[in-house]
Structure 1
Amino acid sequence: MREERYIAVYIMANQRLGTLYIGASGDLNRRIWEHREGLIPGFTKKYGLKRLVWYEPHDDMGTAFQRERSLKRWPRQWKINLIERENPDWDDLYASLV
């Protein structure tokens, strides 16, 4: 893994149009690696959410948490539209981080 740290809001999925999870992290590389390895018990592990399909860098955790809370209130279709605008094939973007 790269040592560079990204503060970011992100969306994980198990497949195209599948279950979605929105999170925020001060170290996106590490956090996504933890999700992919199944090291974090809970929702992402239970539903096999290992594909990073969208992320948005932020300058600080305060704005990242605010954006995370906002996205979690969005209707599902808005979230899908957000992903498909930047990642229409729902590719796993993790490789672009490492």
Structure 2
Amino acid sequence: MPDFLGMMKQAAQLQSKMQAMQEELGNVEVEGLAGGGLVAVRMTAKMEVKGVKIDPSLLKPEEVEILEDLLVTAHADARRKAETAMQEKMQSLTGGLGLPPGFLGFGS
């Protein structure tokens, strides 16, 4: 017969670790770059955008479309890095449990 009390205790510990990890993810920041660094987007591993930097050379009316494209690219780069950071944190949390990817709502 499975040790249900032990399983419940493990589940409670995992929940506590998940809450701590969520707080920690808010402190992990990544930076996405585009245009060789002309545009940068800084965000947390919780996908909250914290800042945007734009090189002044892009602030010309004829460069608007380029700037828009670079912002989208920098945001996508930052998002990929944030997702990687989140997955690494989840792996360290659930590494010994043998859970499938995405089981706790993270990852793919």
The TM-score, its normalising length taken from structure 2, stands at 0.26
Q: Whose relative contact order is higher, 1 or 2, with alpha carbons under 8 Å and at least 6 apart?
A: 1
More helix by share: 2
TM-score, length-scaled by structure 1: 0.28
